[in-house]
Structure 1
Amino acid sequence: MKQTPFTTADLLGPTLPPAERELRLIAVMSLSGAAAVEGTSESLGNDIDAALLTTVRAWSDVVLVGAGTARAETYSGAKCSESERDKRVARGQAPVPPIAVLTKSFDFDPSSQLFTDTEVPPVFLAPQASLDDPDLASARQKLLDANAQLISTGDGSAHAIIDALHTHGFNRITCEGGPGLYGTLLGAGLGDVLHLTIDPLVHGNVETTLFSAGGNYKARLTLEDVHASDDSVMFCRYRRTDQ
């Protein structure tokens, strides 16, 4: 592949007006298809991949992530530069997008950096059954006391999750995984754009392949754009075409 200079704006690609709804998935995997190496994705990708993540977050109204990924990757809040904040406000967006975590148990430590290293309190998305469960009252209250927002996802289905975010004004949604959540969304026919970074690492003992969860589903994607960095990391942008 011929390598040409590119920016993270090139990788982000065309965007819809802020009032229009779009769901983007962003992921990194090894050449062996692994979503993680030794439990996390930290060793995958490069500085450009990290910059792309920041760029996609700056586009977003909300960053959606599964509970397991939030814990394994030791999530903190999203960060936006002053210039990005100004651009967001000019577009009618909040200065910084919140992290929205899917949970059924509310089992999160309010002293973790998800709460302490953030400018916007996290959002927790939970099925109504979990919000009504008296056995979880104490866990819920701990999150509320830490200024978290709790949002019902009804029956907890993929469509209910996205509908709940839309209802609360989050039109631009970025999903950062993990594999189970990617599969759940794609299997439900959701997801407009996939940003996929491929690290040129080949290895055995693949713990979890990136798109193996979510049941027996198929999703047809079209490659819109691809670039490669000098260290052979590939950056692909796909758009779903079977909706």
Structure 2
Amino acid sequence: MRRLFPVTDQTLTAGESEDREWSLDELAAAYAYPDGDGVWLRANMVSSLDGAAHHDGRSQGISSAADMRIFGTLRGLADAVVVGAQTVRAEGYRPARAREAFAARRAAAGQGPAPVIAVVSSSLDLDFSLPLFTEPLVPTLVLTGAGALPGRVAAAERAGVEVVAAGDGAGVDPGRAVEALAGRGLVRLLTEGGPRLLGQFTAAGVLDELCLTVSPAMTAGEAQRIAWGPATADPVRFALASVLEDAGFLFTRYRRAAAPSA
């Protein structure tokens, strides 16, 4: 059973979406970025019922076909996908591919044929011989700190990878990372984690939207939550925008709530 529980105006309705697969056009309309020229950072994560962000080190075990369809839609709408180095290694990231279903939509929005993959890495401990760096349809970026080891920066540049300084020390400043991408015209941003990177974006106050899949599974174990790191001074409040359901999976979308007036 596929349903939308509308919270804001959407293309899909519960009656229209029951017992059939959502079309890419419907999903693209439901997950469209806000109008305007400002930068918008959304996250896409999956969690088990007991809060695990992965099972056995990967998210695939708690995902589903519908989840992957939404995953592909979110990528198809983004200018850039921002991802942590550990997630690149654990998930075996490859270059984003052009999809015919999104070609006209991306061209009309002034986007390239596929989103840029932007890897966040303080150590630059990456295998620059992997297809992510050697065979991208659009060049992969690596975001690091200005104090990154010169030898690792040189290794990346020899491989033809553009290294972008987004912090004064060895680490990456989340706000500076968003600014650096926006300065390249990449304003529709999507982060796919991992938990440490999402925690940094949350703590820095630059996360605008969370697309969270709640998987109807329990994993126990010691897996991280979807966001991990230093706690925020106060909880960051988000407002529910929409909920989709398929086979017990809930596909929620939350937008950062406006700060209350004094």
Please indicate, yes or no, whether the TM-score normalized by the shorter chain is above 0.5: yes
**Alignment match, 2:33:** 15
In structure 2, relative to structure 1, the CA distance for the partners of 1:143 and 1:18 (3 Å cut) is: farther
Q: Aligned partners of 1:224 and 1:146: how far apart in 2? A: 42
Deviations 1:184-224 (A, max 9, x none): 11112111111100111112213211124242442111111
Equivalent position to 2:75, from 46, 57, 67: 57
* Cα 1:120–1:14 shift into 2, 3 Å: closer
Corresponding residue of 1:159: 175
Q: After the TM superposition, which residues 12-161 of structure 1 pair with which residues of structure 2 at under 5 Å, given as runs?
A: 12-17=30-35, 19-116=37-134, 118-130=136-148, 136-155=149-168, 156-161=172-177
1:220 aligns with 2:237: yes
Further displaced range: 207-216 or 75-84: 207-216
Deviation at 1:113, TM superposition (A): 3.1
Contact kept, 8 Å, 1:182 with 1:214, in 2: the verdict is no
Alignment partners' CA distance in 1, 2:139 and 2:180: 18
Structure 2: runs of 5 or more not aligned: 4-13
Give 1:18 deviation, angstroms: 6.5
1:188 paired residue number = 204
Amino acid at match of 1:109: D
Alpha-carbon distance in 2 for matches of 1:164, 1:146: 21
Q: C-alpha distance in 2, partners of 1:51/1:116?
A: 26
| Corresponding residue SS for 2:61 | coil
Equivalent residue, structure 2, for 1:133: none
Partner of 2:6: none
Q: After superposing the two structures, state which structure 1 stretch, 115-124 or 11-20, moved more.
A: 11-20
Unaligned runs of 5+ in 1: 131-135
Partner-residue secondary structure (3-state), 1:68:
helix
Q: CA RMSD in A?
A: 2.1
Q: Report the equivalent of 1:205.
A: 221
Q: Is the 8 A contact 2:45 2:193 kept in 1?
A: yes
SS in 1 for 2:147: helix
Amino acid at match of 1:223: L
1:90-118 alpha-carbon deviations (Å, 9 max, x no partner): 21111111110011222211222322453
1:169 aligns with 2:185: yes
Q: Which deviations, in whole Å up to 9, do the C-alpha atoms of 1:20-65 show, x marking residues without a partner? A: 3211111011111111111111212111111111111111111001
Q: Which amino acid aligns with 1:47?
A: A
Q: TM-score with structure 2 length normalisation?
A: 0.83
1-side partners of 2:2 and 2:190: how far apart?
Answer: 30
Q: Against the structure 1 CA distance between its residues 51 and 107, is the aligned structure 2 distance closer, same or farther, given a 3 Å change threshold?
A: same
Structure 1, 173-182 or 87-96: larger mean CA deviation:
87-96
Give the secondary structure class of the aligned counterpart of 1:128.
coil
Counterpart CA distance in 1 for 2:31 and 2:108 is: 20
